[in-house]
Structure 1
Amino acid sequence: MNFKGWNRHLLWLVAAAPFVSQTWLQAAPAPVTAALEEIPTFEKDVLPILKGHCTACHNPDTSNAFLDLTTYETTMEGGQADNNVVAGDPEASNLMRRILGHGGKPQMPLGFAPLSPEKTETIRAWIKAGAKPTPEGVDLRHWAYISPQKPSVPEGAHPIDYFVGKKLAEQGKSFSPEASRTTLIRRLSLDLTGLPPTPEEVDAFLADTRPDAYERVVDRLLASPQYGERLARMWLDLARYADSNGYEKDLGRQNWAWRDYVIKSFNADKPFDQFTTEQIAGDLLDAPTREQLIATGFHRNTMLNEEGGTDPQEQRWQVLVDRAAVTGTVWMASSTGCAQCHDHKFDPISQKDFYETLAFWESADEPLLALTPEEVSPYVERIKKREEFLLSSPESDARKAALEKIKNEQESLEKATTLVLQESKERKPETPIREGGVYLAPGEVVPAGVPENLAPWQPEMPLNRLGLAQWLTHRDNPLTARVTVNRIWELIFGLGIVKTPGDFGTQSEAPSHPELLDYLAVDFRDQGWSLKKLIRTIVTSRTYRQSSAVTDAMRAWDPDNRYLGRAPRYRMEAEMIRDNALFVSGLLDLSMGGPSVFPPQPEGIWDNPYSGDQWITDPTKDKNRRGLYTFWKRTAPYPSFLTFDATSREACTDVRVRTNTPLQALVLMNDPVYLEAAAALAARMDGEKPEDRIQEGFRLVLARTPSKEEFEVLKNYQALQAKVFAAAQREDAEEASWRMLASLLLNLDEAITRE
């Protein structure tokens, strides 16, 4: 932890407190600068270097020295110098001379670090080989549209460490030291379950001297029920899951059975190709199970416009557009929705391709599936316990409202349904192309199909949603495995190997480690599409286990940590922050599944003039269930989640932004959930002496012991607060001071950060 920053934060809180309302690596080979094994190509090898270092000044709009390096043609034409590129003669080429700084001219790029020896050698080799645009037999398709091939890895090497280490070595750098064991177990626990380790789990890991102690922790966390909840958050964002329909009326809906299907699937390590097939076409499988029917709720998460005057057919068409676009984003990281109105401007997806994909959904009906008594009985029992609790409490208006809500929930469960898809016996999988993307301008009718520029359609595939699922997970599809691996990498490292997890198109940034991405994609597919095996490979690497400590020198040469010379450090997601506060305070209810719950939130946010529904806070421990189960109303999501950058889920969200605002600190200090958590945490901080209580609280929140300096600051802070409350003649001055200390601990940057 950066203590200086922590101390400044602490001093601000001290000043404000009276006024606050409450594991191994194969050595990477030395970089090759004398020769390259293959002849570089302009598009795949040279142009990315020019784009990264030169085209900011040498482009059609800003052509310094009249030189444009954005295309092969303009690069060969040169600018003021006629000999910009002399095919076969690098030494005579002005481009090469300027890169090297020969001839008394300043070295390019001017004002920036020179090109690395490897990049310089790539350009030299290309010129020496004749500077041709396309060497014979070279595939110049965009990298994402070429099927991944598994590169070789030296025997005994960890594949991730081999490829990352090779990149670092090319820069003359190496890995950071391994993080401390306390940091590692907290990092692992947060990454794999979304929750911190308990002090007992930390102690057990520190005391375990077995060679495979770390791997044992990994396996335990992967087997935890909370693992499925952790991964489900990502998938719910992609699927635009919510408990309401959206638009102005935004009435409630029941689709929580699909949410629970997702959690169960991740916990069971269901092969991702099967997971895909069930959600796209579970109803088309032979003798589908109820679980497979429920899975089709993925594409029932679309919004529903119930406003007066809405054209039902146009509304249905908008739903189909959404399904086609979301399928492209989630499984192919392709902005297929851009082809709704016209051919894609950059990627090989035509308008016809888009409507052919949309046609798969034209033949899908949208029935409700009644849940069986067996499927709802666990939640009926949960409601009965809440009712018993309320009946034993004193009478009040809040009690009356809560009992009425329970009565409605019981009736709702008795006739509970979930949203599914079912293949129509009447409609065909075909649709008209809408001219300019306008619903009222139907044109040529096209049958269902796929963008075959991305992957060929196999003859054995049925021309329906089941065939689409098979096409997405076929070995010849270059995207699905890569996209999924990249999403998991982004979930763990905070940034994908490809920066844009929802866009692998030609305008996206190239992968930071293309060989690593392809290796993991092929391995993921060959290992039975197992997400647990993929994650285990990632977290057992030296790359993952590095320290996140960063120096000024590190920031200077790799500000975004794209070379992975250190572990990433980033703020937790909204739900994780709340879950962690409740967990360390002993309040978190780990009950899984069932209808969504209503934790405390400010009054008046959720009044609905159409249905009269109100947000009535759950009076029992249900209010402290994981954020994953909080009722998600699209027009008014849970406020503290929004403050920490959660999405409304009105659309597919492939990555959440991370902001840093004063509102976030105010939520942690004053939100009722965090005030209650601070009080409970203070009560958990056991010890006969104040020193023991401070140590215990610090360990509960941060999974480590405080340094001497940190301990003294905390001790002085608690003593100061005790004096403040005593001066105010508070009878509970001593315990109030501990609640303030607990609140401070929950407010620490380290407490809401994955390190």
Structure 2
Amino acid sequence: MAQPFPHIHRRPPRILAGLVLLVIVRHAAGEAPSPEQVEFFERRIRPVLVEHCYECHASDSVVLQGGLRLDTAVGLQAGGVSGPSIDPANPAASVLLAALRYESLQMPPAGRLPDAVIADFETWVAAGAPDPRTGGAADTEQAPSAANHWAFQRVAPPEPPPTDDRWRRTPIDAFVLARQVDAGVPHAPEASPRDLLRRVAFDLTGLPPTAEEAEQFEADPSDVAYEAAVDSLLASPRFGERWGRHWLDVARYADTKGYVFQEDRNYPNAYRYRDWVIASFNQDLAYDRFLVAQIAADQTDDDSDAAAMGFLTLGRRFLNNSHDIIDDRIDVVTRGTMGLTVACARCHDHKYDPIPTADYYSLYGVFASSEEKPVDNAPNALFDRDKPVEPAVFLRGNPGMRGEPTPRRFLSCLAGDDAAPFAHGSGRREMAEAIANPDNPLTARVWANRVWGWLFGRGLSATASDFGLRGDPPTHPELLDYLADSLTNDGWSTKRLIRRIVLSSTYRQSAVGAPGAAQADPENRLLTRMNRRRLDLEQTRDAVLAVSGRLDLTMEGPSQPIAEQPGTTRRAVYGFVERQNLPAYFRTFDFASPDASSAGRAVTTSPQQALYFLNSPLMLTSASALAERSLDSATSTDDRQRAVRMFRLALGRSPLPAELDALLSFVHDPAAGMPGAGPDWRFGWGRGAAEGDAVDFQELPHFTGDRWQAGDKLPDASLGWVSLQAGGGHPGDPAHPAVRRWVAPAAGRLAIDGELKHPSDQGDGVRGRLVSSRQGVLGEWVATHSQSRTDAQIQVAAGETIDFVTDCRANENSDSFQWGVTLRLDGAGSQRRWDSTSGFRGPTPPPLDCWGRLAQTLLMSNEFLFLD
């Protein structure tokens, strides 16, 4: 039988010297752009230059206009007769940007580019215009070759280096130890039993072990006991939830489409793809079949794979521009499964990797020959069209400029230049099988590298989605090949690959290295210790809910809100992901962008993270629940026992004597028991507010997610239409006005600026009144199909309430209103501001007592939030 990848070369058994030379050459030329910067340039900047600028500003231009060349980094920086294109001292004033904005020169002359494209150039220039194009010659050098690049060589099972070190438990350790011995850097001691169990539990399930489980393992930390713990974690349904979330980052999963026009923004069945992914990991579905199902489930024999093609169909909709949708699908398939940036060849031959534009349009033809159709109880799926599309190259990426035809076939750098065209329908099934073929040198390597990265915090190659010529070579190439070969020989079992890794001594190392290791190996490229890692968004949230006893382990089903209150207490993987407007909570804790396939998550430290732990309803409610959970019949009268129980619940161990003394000192401190200030804004309804009267304020009891109201439905049987939203609301009948109450936190002079609007052209309008609990009615305004200013300045005392009362006048028909208010309080040498719109919120837990504050402190500790 013919070899499917006949030209893939066998790599010599040792390639380390060549890889080191590659790194030296790259760095000798100066600091290279980061992988993220290269991707931004290739996807957002270079295609625009090619399509709109090269005709007049490139080496092959008939006339080089203005002496400016934009087809090289050197030419762009040098500029032309108008001076340098980029001004490093003042990027915003760069000539290039001024020309694109039509502020001076007007480029391109055919018409101003869209604002979004200009914004991309502004972002790029502000970052220093990182340009991966090297050299001063025209950027038209010969296509790179795969002949000598490590990632394009056939995976050859290497022999583990010989070693008699007792530290070695698995062949993985032999590869790691050989590098450490060569460098003269010792490995770290083994992690403590508690740290090791906590590490592997979070890595495999995303949840912490209990104190009892940790103590049991500490009593018997043998290899047999550890293997039993690993097997139990792998068998847990929590495993699929954790590892399914990893894959969803690669698959750029979201529950919405992004920006669309006049259509439902939601993918109503997106969650079924998520549930399929979780189930696949729990069942240990062979990775090759896992990939084929997601690309060509319509052509497999397993009906249970119907939801799998959400991998392709749940991306951004790009206002339903079919060319951009296909580009997104090419990108998620090639970067996600093979670590190749094929989408860079949409407008031109890839400048660094051996991917000609013809290869891009071969795959374009595969997806253009597939049509999207709805499927019962599943995301939309792709099906082959009756007549396949015969693709042609779009010159400079322009669909209106068709070039040479190109057959639907696999990438030439893998299948060869004379590879046979796909013969069955669109070719999507053939493409999927070529990706999942064990002779494909990329697929198993890329997956093994991703798995390693999720377990260690960094892959053997740091560029998990770019194994091309500009990607980072692996620190341990033979080890990566060993893992890739093991994966395919084990029937593409992800669980067996993970088990192989976590049983190694390399994985079991402490995060505290041997003396001198940090200085000799500062980036830990020799794996001389375990990387210290902070819990990610999902681990943090799920752990907080777990230790407080609030975690709901229900599996499957429609996505639930987790960014607002009241939110679900299910695991974060079941949270609703909004693609276009990713909530601040997700961004604060470094969630992967769902706009494109993600190679890994950033890790940032920001004040917003600490403020979230201090103020969020989730944290306050969980701290209160943990405090309540620490209280039982045995601890109700014994503070010492209660403190120990809380500490064990939160951190999985008993406190040391000094720690216990600190805990008791905290709860016995009179200041710790003082209740915190209540919320500044409250939302309800009320009677009263006649001349000199205070409002009989009642809080609205039901929050829908964006509105306070009386019950599940409007109108409510007792309170009618009364409701409040961020920008306004609706009053009830004359006896039930809507009331937004503000509580003064201190004495001072209060300036109120606002505007009451009645936008409807129906009804008799609304009346707004400003009522102080101390001073009575401060003002009254009416808005009927109009707006009225509602400004005032008064002196307030601490605790004084100011009620913004809106009533319906004669009846509540067509009485939706808007009332935006800003407040400024000057007093005691300081100034504070409030805004009624941004201050709108859902339910807020009551202030924490001393035990609740102690619980909150434990949940904010580094020991809780970090592994190792």
Instruction: State whether structure 2 residue 708 is matched by structure 1 residue 748.
Output: no
Structure 2: which 5+ residue stretches go unaligned? 1-11, 32-144, 679-844
* Equivalent position SS for 1:578: helix
Following superposition, the deviation at residue 491 of structure 1 comes to: 0.6
CA contact (8 A) 2:592 2:600 kept: no
- Over 3 Å counting, the alpha-carbon distance change for 1:734 and 1:670 in structure 2 is closer
Instruction: State whether structure 2 residue 385 is matched by structure 1 residue 424.
Output: yes
2:37 maps to what in 1? none
Following superposition, the deviation at residue 423 of structure 1 comes to: 1.7
2:523 maps to what in 1? 560
1:297 maps to what in 2? 310
- Over 3 Å counting, the alpha-carbon distance change for 1:179 and 1:272 in structure 2 is same
Q: 1:282 aligns with which of 282, 297, 319?
A: 297
| Greater relative contact order structure (CA < 8 Å, 6+ sep) | 1
1:51 maps to what in 2? 25
* Equivalent position SS for 1:433: strand
- Over 3 Å counting, the alpha-carbon distance change for 1:53 and 1:726 in structure 2 is closer
1:531 is matched by which residue type in structure 2? T
Following superposition, the deviation at residue 552 of structure 1 comes to: 8.0
- Over 3 Å counting, the alpha-carbon distance change for 1:430 and 1:207 in structure 2 is farther
Following superposition, the deviation at residue 171 of structure 1 comes to: 1.4
CA contact (8 A) 1:524 1:531 kept: yes
* Equivalent position SS for 1:587: coil
Q: 1:716 aligns with which of 665, 680, 702?
A: 665
1:694 maps to what in 2? 643
- Over 3 Å counting, the alpha-carbon distance change for 1:140 and 1:734 in structure 2 is closer
1:483 maps to what in 2? 446
Name the CA distance, whole Å, in 2 between partners of 1:528 and 1:430. Answer: 36
- Over 3 Å counting, the alpha-carbon distance change for 1:329 and 1:228 in structure 2 is same
2:382 is matched by which residue type in structure 1? L
Matches within 5 A, 1:573-652: 573-599=536-562, 601=564, 617=566, 623-652=568-597
2:274 maps to what in 1? 259
1:242 maps to what in 2? 254
Instruction: State whether structure 2 residue 658 is matched by structure 1 residue 684.
Output: no
Higher helix share: 1
2:76 maps to what in 1? none
1:531 maps to what in 2? 494
Deviations 1:655-681, CA, capped at 9 Å, x for gaps: 111100010011111111111111111
Instruction: State whether structure 2 residue 435 is matched by structure 1 residue 472.
Output: yes
Matches within 5 A, 1:135-154: 141-153=148-160, 154=162
Name the CA distance, whole Å, in 1 between partners of 2:601 and 2:574. Answer: 19
Name the CA distance, whole Å, in 1 between partners of 2:557 and 2:295. Answer: 23
Deviations 1:87-122, CA, capped at 9 Å, x for gaps: xxxxxxxxxxxxxxxxxxxxxxxxxxxxxxxxxxxx
Question: Greater Rg, structure 1 or structure 2?
Answer: 2
Name the CA distance, whole Å, in 2 between partners of 1:458 and 1:341. Answer: 23
- Over 3 Å counting, the alpha-carbon distance change for 1:506 and 1:430 in structure 2 is same
1:444 is matched by which residue type in structure 2? E
1:205 maps to what in 2? 217
Instruction: State whether structure 2 residue 295 is matched by structure 1 residue 332.
Output: no
Structure 1: which 5+ residue stretches go unaligned? 1-37, 58-137, 307-311, 372-416, 603-616
Report the more deviating stretch, 258-267 or 140-149. 140-149
* Equivalent position SS for 1:740: helix
User: Percent of aligned positions with the same letter in both sequences?
Assistant: 37
Name the CA distance, whole Å, in 2 between partners of 1:207 and 1:271. Answer: 36
- Over 3 Å counting, the alpha-carbon distance change for 1:446 and 1:665 in structure 2 is same
Name the CA distance, whole Å, in 2 between partners of 1:203 and 1:149. Answer: 43
- Over 3 Å counting, the alpha-carbon distance change for 1:573 and 1:679 in structure 2 is same
CA contact (8 A) 1:634 1:649 kept: yes
Instruction: State whether structure 2 residue 402 is matched by structure 1 residue 442.
Output: yes
Name the CA distance, whole Å, in 2 between partners of 1:486 and 1:40. Answer: 19
Name the CA distance, whole Å, in 1 between partners of 2:297 and 2:486. Answer: 26
Following superposition, the deviation at residue 497 of structure 1 comes to: 0.1
2:552 is matched by which residue type in structure 1? D
CA contact (8 A) 1:574 1:642 kept: no
Report the more deviating stretch, 151-160 or 527-536. 151-160
* Equivalent position SS for 1:168: helix
Following superposition, the deviation at residue 750 of structure 1 comes to: 2.1
Matches within 5 A, 1:69-80: none
- Over 3 Å counting, the alpha-carbon distance change for 1:734 and 1:144 in structure 2 is closer
CA contact (8 A) 2:563 2:585 kept: no
1:663 maps to what in 2? 608
CA contact (8 A) 1:284 1:423 kept: no
Matches within 5 A, 1:70-219: 141-153=148-160, 154=162, 158-208=170-220, 211-219=223-231
- Over 3 Å counting, the alpha-carbon distance change for 1:53 and 1:591 in structure 2 is same
CA contact (8 A) 1:600 1:673 kept: no
Following superposition, the deviation at residue 201 of structure 1 comes to: 2.0
Matches within 5 A, 1:451-466: 451-456=411-416, 462-463=423-424, 464-466=427-429
> Number of paired residues?
564
Name the CA distance, whole Å, in 2 between partners of 1:42 and 1:478. Answer: 18
Name the CA distance, whole Å, in 1 between partners of 2:151 and 2:630. Answer: 53
Deviations 1:351-378, CA, capped at 9 Å, x for gaps: 111111222111211111112xxxxxxx
Name the CA distance, whole Å, in 1 between partners of 2:676 and 2:202. Answer: 41
Following superposition, the deviation at residue 297 of structure 1 comes to: 1.7
| RMSD between superposed Cα atoms in Å | 2.9
* Equivalent position SS for 2:478: helix
* Equivalent position SS for 2:501: helix
Name the CA distance, whole Å, in 2 between partners of 1:476 and 1:460. Answer: 19
Deviations 1:216-272, CA, capped at 9 Å, x for gaps: 000000000010010111111111111111015571112211111100000000000
2:507 maps to what in 1? 544
Deviations 1:629-680, CA, capped at 9 Å, x for gaps: 1111112234322210113401111111110001001111111111111111
Name the CA distance, whole Å, in 1 between partners of 2:848 and 2:17. Answer: 68
2:22 is matched by which residue type in structure 1? P
CA contact (8 A) 1:455 1:478 kept: no
Following superposition, the deviation at residue 46 of structure 1 comes to: 6.5
TM-score by length of 2: 0.61
- Over 3 Å counting, the alpha-carbon distance change for 1:211 and 1:327 in structure 2 is closer
Name the CA distance, whole Å, in 2 between partners of 1:172 and 1:643. Answer: 41
Deviations 1:289-347, CA, capped at 9 Å, x for gaps: 332222122100121244xxxxx5xx111111111121110111111111111011111
Following superposition, the deviation at residue 174 of structure 1 comes to: 2.0
Higher strand share: 2
CA contact (8 A) 2:643 2:660 kept: yes
CA contact (8 A) 1:360 1:430 kept: no
1:105 maps to what in 2? none
Deviations 1:441-473, CA, capped at 9 Å, x for gaps: 332332211222134597697551111111112
Name the CA distance, whole Å, in 1 between partners of 2:216 and 2:175. Answer: 33
Following superposition, the deviation at residue 717 of structure 1 comes to: 2.0
- Over 3 Å counting, the alpha-carbon distance change for 1:695 and 1:438 in structure 2 is farther
- Over 3 Å counting, the alpha-carbon distance change for 1:460 and 1:447 in structure 2 is closer
* Equivalent position SS for 1:263: helix
2:865 is matched by which residue type in structure 1? I
Q: 2:355 aligns with which of 333, 349, 373?
A: 349
Name the CA distance, whole Å, in 2 between partners of 1:166 and 1:633. Answer: 47
2:818 maps to what in 1? none
Name the CA distance, whole Å, in 2 between partners of 1:351 and 1:728. Answer: 63
- Over 3 Å counting, the alpha-carbon distance change for 1:200 and 1:303 in structure 2 is same
CA contact (8 A) 1:323 1:358 kept: no
